[in-house]
Structure 1
Amino acid sequence: MSIEQMIWLSAGTCGLGPFRSDLAAEYWRWEEDPSSLIGLGRPVPESLPSRTQGLQQQLAGRNIRFTVYDLTAPENPVPAGTTTLQPDTYARTAEYILVIAPEARGKGLATPATRLTLDFGFHVANLRSVWLKVLAPNKAAVHVYEQAGFQHVGAMRQAGYWHGAVCDELLMDALASEFTGPSVLLNRPEP
């Protein structure tokens, strides 16, 4: 696969490309990392065979999924996470989910990956809003989402667990009408 086929959108040292069946074991490893399970609020791990079977269904589904790439060495993009938009096509909204590989955390990929996904959602998928849920104690994730343009819109009280303790689950959203800053898609030259 050429770099052009691998990276569809990029900003600085972060890029987004297609969800790939050959990365099923990596996606599974990232999702099953204990800190990912805590952050996603999912206490029960999934087996690799189950994840691989689920991936085939996801590749055929209507969700918008990307592989996040670390472009620190542009000639050798490294898969570093995933982003997902789960659209409600009637309402033109979508839920956003982000997973960053444990070894890629702290490299500054989460915010640009989120912004690139929002850019695609608003300017290609024609969504009017994107929303997410995040556990309140997950301060790093909350900061990433705020930096990417999400705003707090509410909380579901005692809806989650963080390291075994009950916690609130925050609701955040981003609106197409409020999406600010440069758009990678809108600033591309016409083909």
Structure 2
Amino acid sequence: MSVEQTIWLSDGICGLGPLRSDLAEQYWRWEEAPSSLIGFGRPVPESLQSRTQGLQQQLAGRNIRFTVYDLTDAENPVPSGMTTLQPDNYVRTAEYILVIAPEARGKGLATRATRLTLDFGFHVANVRSIWLKVLAPNKAAVQVYAKAGFKHVGAMRQAGYWRGAVCDELIMDALASEFSGPSVLASAD
């Protein structure tokens, strides 16, 4: 495994490593896939040049960002998505954001990556609550988040768009005090 494919956290099937500048085009492709734009409720695509410039700022920023790897082939980890925690250090919370490559969906990586990111957030970054917003019609994403440990706590009515129609945006959160183990960090050196 090269330095470029450093894996910091792993459950054996999914791994999290650092965000990588050499993957800027892949990150952009994943984020700009029509299914991702629909999931984000964002109707305006971004150029590769803009995304590459934004990545440079993200690499230097205060957010916690990971490249998600599919570890099915242990010899060749495959970059398959990104997770982000945007911490609010004053109140010890963080917003969670997930992007999984369209070709990697349906393999359970989203749930595993979410769980690993929660593990890091609670046991390394020491946040007490991690929250997210998800469009209500995005049933697959809601299921992923619930399976990983998030609970539905509210909704912003008519705050989003799904396939051209107005929809609610659900708010889900996970608490450190309710995070069920085992933590992959408990067995780390």
User: Which TM-score bucket, shorter chain as reference?
Assistant: over 0.9
2:158 equivalent in structure 1: 158
Which amino acid in structure 2 is aligned with residue 168 of structure 1?
A: D
Aligned residues: 189
Structure 1: unaligned runs, 5 residues or longer: none
SS of aligned partner of 2:45: coil
Equivalent position amino acid for 1:114 in 2: T
Change in Cα spacing, 1:4 to 1:25, as seen in structure 2 (3 Å) is: closer
In 1: Cα distance, 2:134 partner to 2:12 partner: 26
CA contact (8 A) 1:63 1:86 kept: yes
TM-score by length of 2: 0.97
SS for the counterpart of 2:46 is: coil
Q: Is the 8 A contact 2:14 2:71 kept in 1?
A: yes
Check conservation: 1:81, 1:100, Cα contact below 8 A: yes
Check whether the contact 2:32–2:45 (CA below 8 A) recurs between aligned residues: yes
Secondary structure at 2:160 match in 1: strand
Q: Is the 8 A contact 1:123 1:186 kept in 2?
A: no
Identity %: 84
1:20 counterpart residue number: 20
For 2:86, the equivalent position in structure 1 comes to 86
Q: In structure 1, the residue corresponding to 2:42 is in which secondary structure?
A: coil
1:4 positional shift: 9.2
Aligned to 1:139: 139
Q: 1:10 to 1:4 in 2, by over 3 A?
A: farther
Q: Distance in 2 between matches of 1:108 and 1:97?
A: 16
Aligned to 1:42, the other structure's residue is in SS state coil
One-letter amino acid of the counterpart of residue 100, structure 1:
I
RMSD: 1.2
Corresponding residue for residue 121 of structure 1: 121
Q: Structure 2: any 5+ residue segments left out of the alignment?
A: none
Deviations 1:107-139 (A, max 9, x none): 110001000000000000000000000000000
Q: Is the 8 A contact 1:135 1:169 kept in 2?
A: yes
Tell me the TM-score normalized by structure 1.
Answer: 0.96
CA contact (8 A) 1:111 1:144 kept: yes
2:86 partner SS: strand
Q: Cα distance, 1:97 vs. partner?
A: 0.2
How far apart in 1 are the matches of 2:138 and 2:70?
Answer: 23
